[in-house]
Amino acid sequence: MTEKRRGNPPFQFRLDPDLRLAMEKAQKEDGDESLAGWMKRILRKELASRGLLDK
């Protein structure tokens, strides 16, 4: 019996320390609760501006 994974699979990548600090600063300034949430919001906005996302 195979167990099905719930939710979306994680996406991992390495960040340069300076880039991470800048991203965390922007996340806090924007009021996002987490860095992951901030990144998803920014990526959705970019994809929508390119017409690649329906939302």
Rounded-to-integer distance, Cα 30 and Cα 4, Å:
35
Rounded-to-integer distance, Cα 24 and Cα 55, Å:
25
Confidence at residue 1, expressed as pLDDT on a 0 to 100 scale: 53
Q: What is the pLDDT of residues 1-55, one digit of tens each?
A: 566 768 889 989 999 999 999 999 999 999 999 999 999 999 999 999 999 998 5
Distance from the first to the final alpha carbon of the chain:
37
8 within domain boundaries: no
Confidence at residue 2, expressed as pLDDT on a 0 to 100 scale: 61
54 within domain boundaries: no
12 within domain boundaries: no
Structural domains counted in the chain: 1
Confidence at residue 3, expressed as pLDDT on a 0 to 100 scale: 66
Confidence at residue 14, expressed as pLDDT on a 0 to 100 scale: 96
Confidence at residue 52, expressed as pLDDT on a 0 to 100 scale: 96
39 within domain boundaries: yes
Q: Which residues contact 48 (CB under 8 A, 6 or more apart)?
A: 55
